Amino acid sequence: MSRFPRPGQRWPLVAILAAAFVAFPLGVIASHQFGDVPDSNDYHNDIAAIAAAGVTTGCGGGNYCPSAFVTREQMAAFMNRLGALGDGKTPVVNAAELDGVSAEQFVRSDVQVLRHYSCTGPMFEPFSSVTTWTKTSSSIYADAGTSSSFGCPIHLPDGAVIAALHFYVTDTSATEQVKDCALRGGFMSGGVTLFSNLADTGVAATPGTIELSQPDLAVAVDNSLKAFYGLCTIEGNGNDVRIVSLLVDYLAMDGT
Q: What domains are defined for the chain?
A: 1-106 (no CATH), 112-253 (2.60.120.260)
* Secondary structure class of 38 (helix, strand, coil): coil
- What is the Cβ-side half-sphere exposure of residue 129, based on CA atoms within 13 angstroms? 12
pLDDT of residue 151: 92
pLDDT of residue 17: 40
pLDDT of residue 117: 96
User: Confidence band (pLDDT; 50, 70, 90) for 54?
Assistant: confident
User: Confidence band (pLDDT; 50, 70, 90) for 196?
Assistant: low
User: Confidence band (pLDDT; 50, 70, 90) for 180?
Assistant: confident
* Mean pLDDT of the 74-100 span: 66
User: Confidence band (pLDDT; 50, 70, 90) for 194?
Assistant: low
Measure Cα distances from 97 to 52, 56, 143 in Å. Answer: 9, 15, 65
Between CA 80 and CA 85 the distance in angstroms is: 5
User: Number of helices (H) and strands (E), helices first, in the chain?
Assistant: 2, 12
List pLDDT tens digits, range 126-161.
Answer: 988 888 999 999 999 999 877 889 999 999 999 899
Q: In what side-by-side order are the strands of the sheet with 177-186? A: 125-128, 148-154, 227-235, 177-186, 192-195
Residue 80 or 149, more confident:
149
Between CA 251 and CA 168 the distance in angstroms is: 21
Where helices occur in the chain by DSSP H, the ranges are 44-53, 72-83
User: Confidence band (pLDDT; 50, 70, 90) for 91?
Assistant: low
Q: Is the pLDDT of residue 92 over 60?
A: no
User: Confidence band (pLDDT; 50, 70, 90) for 247?
Assistant: very high
Between CA 165 and CA 197 the distance in angstroms is: 12
Of 162, 120, 33, 21, the C-alpha closest to 78 is: 21
Decide: 235 and 171 in contact? Cβ < 8 Å.
no
Q: Is the pLDDT of residue 120 over 90?
A: yes
Between CA 111 and CA 108 the distance in angstroms is: 6
pTM of the model: 0.56
Decide: 165 and 142 in contact? Cβ < 8 Å.
no
Q: Is the pLDDT of residue 30 over 60?
A: no
Q: Is the pLDDT of residue 76 over 90?
A: no
Between CA 183 and CA 251 the distance in angstroms is: 16
Decide: 234 and 176 in contact? Cβ < 8 Å.
yes
